[in-house]
């Protein structure tokens, strides 16, 4: 059987390896770029966070996030780790469950995949930009931008999403599946930086803070998390920003990030600490109030926003202003103006509707013999290795071409 796979990213390579396990299959992998797996090299800041020990359906999103369950049950975290170990990859798990190659290099993951693809006899066609797919009498035909035609009895679409355009993110998968009758949801950038009103963040560029952050609309908390936040000239970045970026991207207007800069200190304890500091050092200028507790530029920005002059003696800062200052550092607001676009995003929110595919086999309900895997589907995971786990799980299941599944 001829198996045609469009897209040589994580899910595409896994689909190719899975399909090639059946020796009767002749597998061809069409990749738009000059080599397969380019985006893998950028994941995890070049370390490749290839999975997460806590990966389950609760970490995934979309119109029907439970769609991931059969694939994760069939090819879950432990089976993924065993699979890569068999390919020669040693891994290490960090305290938060993130799994990385022992080498700490994303290239190690790509190398073992590329070697396996070659060893299994998969035909890789690089620099092949597929612009059209057609239903034929007994299979499917893919047509490239230069006019070449490729045939498969079965077709697996693994083109990824439009996130990370500089590394190969495109919309082609949505268009190709659309040619076969599939529908696509609205698309949004995710796992990216959040843009805010620059008034207070611009002076904080490069400053990092360990804080609790709530994304709010008015008095309602939409999402809340804690960890490292990095200020930029346009807003915020870092793990916390990435985690909140999905809600910020899809949430529309009127959103505010509210930062608790002393997340381990209740407001009362913080107020007592600041009053004690004032009593001990009444002649100290106010700009030194947060010395030893907040990064210097961050502390001064808080004071400036509170209307306290840098040179004012601490002794003249009354209890009422101390209380107001505590309220500000426990709820430092930044008005959200948007998120960085698809060029900076790691993942796409939205995709081809999963209601049009079988969850157990990932075969199309509209075009029999067509399968899809990875980011092209309306599934996105949390930051921390969950999206790559979906790529491995869905790619493996799709590569089985309908075998071993029970209709969902």
Give the pLDDT of residue 366.
98
Q: Which residue has the higher pLDDT, 79 or 218?
A: 79
408 pLDDT band, cuts 50/70/90, is: very low
Q: Tell me the mean pLDDT in the region 110-121.
A: 97
Could you tell me which residues come within 8 angstroms of residue 156 by beta carbon, excluding any fewer than 6 positions away?
3, 4, 5, 6, 12, 15, 19, 370, 371, 372, 373, 398, 399, 401
Query: Count of residues for the chain?
Result: 408
Report CA-CA distances (Å) from 83 to 17, 57, 88, 90. 11, 21, 9, 11
Instruction: Show the tokens assigned to 203.
Output: 């002076």
CA angle 251, 255, 258 (to 5 degrees): 125
Q: Please determine, for residue 309, whether its predicted confidence score (pLDDT) is greater than 50.
A: yes
Q: Please determine, for residue 338, whether its predicted confidence score (pLDDT) is greater than 60.
A: yes
Give the pLDDT of residue 171.
85
Q: Please determine, for residue 368, whether its predicted confidence score (pLDDT) is greater than 50.
A: yes
Q: Tell me the mean pLDDT in the region 303-307.
A: 96
Q: Please determine, for residue 131, whether its predicted confidence score (pLDDT) is greater than 90.
A: yes
405 pLDDT band, cuts 50/70/90, is: low
List beta partners, residue 161.
none
The helix (H) or strand (E) run that includes residue 5 is strand 2-6
Q: What tens digit of pLDDT does each residue of 383-392 get?
A: 999 999 999 9
For residues 184 and 352, the answer to whether their CB atoms sit within 8 Å is: yes
Give the pLDDT of residue 163.
87
Give the pLDDT of residue 168.
55
Give the pLDDT of residue 45.
81
Residue 332, helix vs strand vs coil: strand
Q: Tell me the mean pLDDT in the region 347-356.
A: 97
> Which pTM value belongs to this model?
0.91
For residues 7 and 33, the answer to whether their CB atoms sit within 8 Å is: no
The helix (H) or strand (E) run that includes residue 27 is strand 26-30
Q: Please determine, for residue 370, whether its predicted confidence score (pLDDT) is greater than 50.
A: yes
Of 241, 222, 186, whose CA–CA distance to 62 is shortest? 186
The helix (H) or strand (E) run that includes residue 99 is strand 98-101
Give the pLDDT of residue 406.
54
The two beta strands, 2-6 and 26-30, are parallel
Task: For each of the domains in the chain, give its residue range(s) and CATH number, in order of start.
Answer: 2-188+349-399 (3.50.50.60), 193-340 (no CATH)
Q: Tell me the mean pLDDT in the region 345-358.
A: 96
365 pLDDT band, cuts 50/70/90, is: very high
Percent of the chain surpassing pLDDT 70: 98
Q: What tens digit of pLDDT does each residue of 135-174 get?
A: 999 999 999 999 999 999 999 999 999 887 665 567 899 9
For residues 292 and 269, the answer to whether their CB atoms sit within 8 Å is: no
């Amino acid at each position: 059987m001829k198996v045609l796979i469009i897209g040589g990213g994580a899910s595409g390579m896994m689909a190719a390896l899975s399909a090639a396990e059946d020796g009767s299959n002749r597998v061809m992998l069409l990749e738009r770029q000059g080599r397969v797996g380019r985006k893998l090299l950028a994941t995890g800041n070049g370390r490749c966070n290839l999975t997460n020990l806590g990966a389950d359906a609760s970490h995934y999103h979309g119109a029907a996030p439970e769609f991931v369950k059969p694939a994760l049950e069939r090819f879950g975290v432990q089976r993924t780790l065993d699979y890569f170990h068999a390919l020669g990859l040693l891994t290490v798990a960090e305290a938060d469950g993130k799994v990385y190659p022992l080498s700490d290099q994303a290239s190690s993951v790509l190398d073992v995949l590329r070697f396996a693809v070659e060893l299994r006899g998969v035909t890789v066609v690089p620099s092949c930009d597929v612009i059209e797919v057609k239903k034929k009498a007994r299979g499917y035909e893919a047509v490239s931008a230069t006019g070449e035609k490729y045939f498969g009895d079965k077709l697996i679409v693994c083109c990824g999403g439009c996130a990370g355009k500089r590394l190969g993110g495109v919309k082609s998968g949505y268009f190709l599946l659309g040619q076969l009758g599939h529908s696509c949801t609205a698309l949004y950038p995710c796992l990216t930086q959040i843009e805010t009103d620059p008034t207070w963040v611009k002076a904080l560029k490069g400053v990092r803070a360990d804080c609790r952050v709530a994304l709010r609309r008015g008095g309602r908390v939409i999402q809340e998390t804690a960890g490292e936040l990095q200020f930029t000239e346009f807003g915020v970045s870092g793990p916390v920003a990435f985690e909140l970026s999905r809600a910020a991207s899809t949430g529309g207007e009127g959103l505010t990030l509210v930062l608790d800069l002393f997340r381990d200190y209740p407001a009362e304890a913080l107020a007592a600490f600041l009053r004690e500091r004032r009593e001990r050092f009444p002649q100290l200028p106010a700009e030194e109030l947060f010395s030893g507790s907040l990064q210097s530029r961050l502390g001064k920005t808080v004071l400036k926003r509170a209307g306290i002059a840098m040179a004012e003696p601490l002794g003249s800062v009354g209890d009422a202003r101390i209380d107001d200052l505590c309220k500000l550092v426990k709820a430092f607001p930044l008005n959200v103006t948007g998120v960085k676009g698809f060029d900076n995003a790691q993942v796409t929110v939205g995709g081809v509707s999963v209601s049009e595919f079988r969850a157990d086999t990932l075969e199309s309900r509209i075009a029999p013999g067509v399968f899809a895997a990875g980011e092209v589907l309306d599934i996105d995971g949390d930051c921390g290795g969950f999206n790559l786990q979906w790529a491995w799980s869905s790619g493996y299941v799709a590569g089985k071409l309908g075998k071993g599944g029970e209709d969902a």
